[in-house]
Chain A
Amino acid sequence: MTDRPTREIPLVSTAQPEDYFQLLKPRVMSLVVFTAVTGLVVAPGHPNPLLAAIAVLCIAVGAGAAGALNMALEGETDALMRRTRGRPVAAGRVRKNDAMAFGVILSIFSVMLLGMTTNWLAGGLLALTIVYYAGFYTLLLKRRTPQNIVIGGAAGAFPPVIGWAAVTGDAPWQAWLLFLIIFLWTPPHSWALALYSAGDYAKAGIPMMPVARGAKSTRLQILIYTLIFVPVAIAPAFLGLGGVVYLAVSVAGGLFFLALAIRLWRSRAGDQPDKAEAVGREAALYDVRAEAKPARNLFAFSILYLMALFSALLVEQLPGLGA
């Protein structure tokens, strides 16, 4: 049983527009926008630039709406964890029902506008993403299985497929290859973070892999997923989706990713309580014990690698650099 804090909810809201903006998870949204733009640019066809920009905005707002619904549903749990206790609902700045209404309204508007702007396959995929993340992942998976992040990771992998569908009206295997890259990237990325935040997850009653199976098993699973992920990340270079730039970036980055995963597997990251727990104070996301540094390094590099992969695909669309 988790120790849930009692928070005083004000009768009259003093929430600022910035609090509502925070509900959209802007950092996650920026990654969603980036991958969606990549899908949109890499897809064959020449969409109207104005409509393409509106489509990207819709995908961003839809992803933000899913984030708002997640925060509304997870307010009490978020309040128990250092990383999330400052979120608007967890901190009591925005009421749960207000966050829920905000998320639902933005979901409807973004899906409808994307459908009108591009096509209803893209609109439907965006709706599926929102329901998958807010309903399937947040309500069902997150508290029930240590595989939560593996299955739930699909929600974060949809944006390039939506971007592709917005241009062509279909979702061919190339779009699903981009999906697969993000899908397989998610477990090593999330578990690396969980290795040095396990205390928080345990306190909140969330069965993340280090909590449910232990640090040693998590480090091994990170390595296994990395061994599957890196070849898939390189695959577009051999399947006509990426060119020489992509090949260089994916191979060099992939080998470094693998080296970090091996170092993490051989380390003792996650075996000890994380630093903030040990010293009993707030700690920054990257402020970890010396033993946990391999986990932090992999977490940080995983973000860089994903950005580099999709940047390479974008760069190759520039004239003269085509795949």
Chain B
Amino acid sequence: MNRPNFIKLTDEQVRARKRRNVAIALGLVGFIVLVFIVTVVNLQRNTEARKAAEAAALATVERADPALPAPALEAPVSEPAQ
């Protein structure tokens, strides 16, 4: 059985291919890092937004129920200075 006749690469071609492969690898790693950063930052922002929304909702519920004490989120109105 005959072996397929592959192209024999020159040293220059091999070197160029290696450099391209390294560049592709760096590009892919860079892309993964960027996606990771975006994910973490967005996760952080969404968590903070959810906490703020929950606090606001709780404050609304507490205000609506007269049996509960006044919500601590609102500062008491101070008396005007005489």
**CB within 8 Å of B: which of A5-36?**
11-17, 20
The residue from B9, B12, B19, B45 contacting A17, defined by CB atoms under 8 A apart: B19
Q: Which residue of A lies closest to B21 (CB)?
A: A17
Contact indicator per residue, chain A 33-55, by CB within 8 Å of chain B (1) or not (0)? 00000000000000010110010
Per the CB 8 Å criterion, the residue count for chain A at the interface is 17
Candidates A15, A48, A54, A109; contact of B16 at CB < 8 Å:
A15
Chain A's nearest CB lies how many Å from the CB of B60?
27
The DSSP consensus for interface residues of chain B is: helix
Asked if A117 is at the interface of the complex by the 8 Å CB criterion, the answer is yes
- Cβ contact of B41, chosen from A14, A17, A51, cutoff 8 A: A51
- Interface positions, chain A 253-276, Cβ under 8 Å from B, are none
A20 pairs with B23, CB closer than 8 A = yes
1/0 contact trace for B1-37 toward A, CB 8 Å?
Answer: 0000001010011001101101100000001001101
Q: Do the beta carbons of B13 and A17 come within 8 Å of each other?
A: no
Contact A50 B37 (CB under 8 A): yes
CB-CB nearest in chain A for B28? A109
Mostly, the A contact residues are helix
How far apart are the CA atoms of A15 and B34 in the complex, in Å? 27
Interface membership of B49, Cβ < 8 A: no
- Asked whether A13 and B35 contact (CB < 8 A) given A48-B41, A48-B45, A50-B41, the answer is no
Select the residue from B20, B37, B45 with max chain A CB neighbours within 10 A.
B20
| Chain B minimum-CB-distance residue to A10 | B13
Q: Are B38 and A15 in contact (CB under 8 A)?
A: no
Q: Which of B9, B16, B42 is close to A16, meaning CB atoms less than 8 Å apart? A: B16
A-B Cβ contacts below 8 A, count = 41
On chain B, the residues within 8 Å of A54 by CB distance are 34, 37-38
**Total interface residues in chain B, CB < 8 Å:** 18
* Docked-complex contact B16 and A113, CB < 8 angstroms: no
**A16 touching B19 by the CB < 8 A rule?**
yes
Residues of B close to A20: CB separation below 8 A: 20, 23
A307 contacts B by Cβ under 8 Å? no
Q: Whole-angstrom distance between the alpha carbons of A320 and B35 in the complex?
A: 36
Best-buried of A15, A17, A50, A113 by chain B (most CB within 10 Å):
A17
> Are A113 and B34 also in contact (CB < 8 A) when A16-B19, A20-B23, A48-B41 are?
yes
CB distance from A80 to the nearest CB of B (A): 27
Q: Which residues on B sit within 8 Å (CB–CB) of A117?
A: 38
Q: Which residues of B contact A109 (CB under 8 A)?
A: 31
Say whether, besides A17-B19, A20-B23, A48-B45, A12 and B38 are in contact (CB < 8 Å): no
Closest CB of chain A to B1's CB: distance in Å? 25
With A11-B7, A48-B45 given, is the CB distance from A17 to B34 under 8 Å? no
A-B pairs, top 3 by smallest CB distance, nearest first, are A17-B23, A14-B16, A117-B38
Q: List 9 A-B contacts (CB under 8 A).
A: A13-B20, A14-B16, A16-B19, A17-B20, A17-B23, A48-B41, A51-B41, A109-B31, A113-B31
Since A14-B12, A20-B20, A116-B35 are in contact, a sample of 17 more A-B pairs with Cβ atoms closer than 8 Å, ordered by chain A residue number, is: A13-B20, A16-B20, A17-B19, A17-B20, A17-B22, A48-B41, A50-B37, A50-B41, A51-B38, A54-B37, A54-B38, A57-B34, A109-B31, A113-B34, A113-B35, A116-B42, A117-B38
